[in-house]
A = this chain, B = another copy of it.
Amino acid sequence: MSWIYALDLLGTLVFAISGVLTAIDKKFDLVGTLVIGFVTAIGGGTIRDIMIGNHPVGWLRDTNYIYIVTLGFLLSYFFKSNIIRLRKSMFLFDTVGIALFTTLGIKTCLSFKLSIPVCLIMGVVSAVFGGVIRDVLTGEIPLIFRKEIYASACFAGGIVYIILDFFHLQNDVSVLISILVVFLIRYFSVKRGWALQLNE
């Protein structure tokens, strides 16, 4: 198992946990909670795949994603209070998750011979639209439209990845650097209260 695949599963796990915790807070029932865990974890990649015509969508072909989401569900359910105390590690894994989802999304789109701007956009979509669907289904205005430089960090990391890929850097290294870029931007943005607000 490559480290990229391992991180992908880890990112999926963290996304699933974040979805399940949201659903538990909203007092959803068992199946509703599972559904929210799922759409949070695999929603972004699903939207990317159905838009570029990558059928059947990724997680339908690799049952590991289903097991990982189910694991995230069980962990959140039985160790809820412990997980909430791990907020800092969650932030770390979540950031690694969106960074990785962005680069993997871009890589998939490049292999479909799509143009650079399209690949960049679809990469960010892969990373953030799981959370968007989670928020829509739980009756919230999507968080990414309001707080933190979340999607913006993905954009930056995606641009770095595309540049490195253009210069034929080894893929593992490009991914690693892109993850670092996303992490640093997000870390400092939260630390210093950065925001890209348009008005006022």
In the complex the two chains form, is A144's CB within 8 Å of B27's CB? no
- Range of interface residues on chain A? 35 or more
State the Cβ distance, A103 to closest chain B Cβ, in Å. 17
CA of A139 to CA of B145, assembled, Å: 11
Residues of B within 8 A of A24 (CB): 198-199
- Using Cβ atoms and an 8 Å threshold, which residues of chain B touch A147? 29
Q: Is B31 a contact partner of A151 (Cβ separation < 8 A)?
A: yes
Asked whether A155 lies within 8 Å of B31 as measured between CB atoms, the reply is: yes
The B-contacting residues of A in range 18-51, CB under 8 angstroms, are: 23-24, 26-33, 35-36, 38, 46, 50-51
**3 nearest interchain CB pairs?**
A53-B55, A32-B145, A30-B196
- A residues near B (Cβ < 8 Å) are 23-24, 26-33, 35-36, 38, 46, 50-53, 55-57, 60-61, 63, 66-67, 77, 112, 114-115, 117-118, 121-122, 124, 132, 136-142, 144-147, 149-152, 155, 195-200
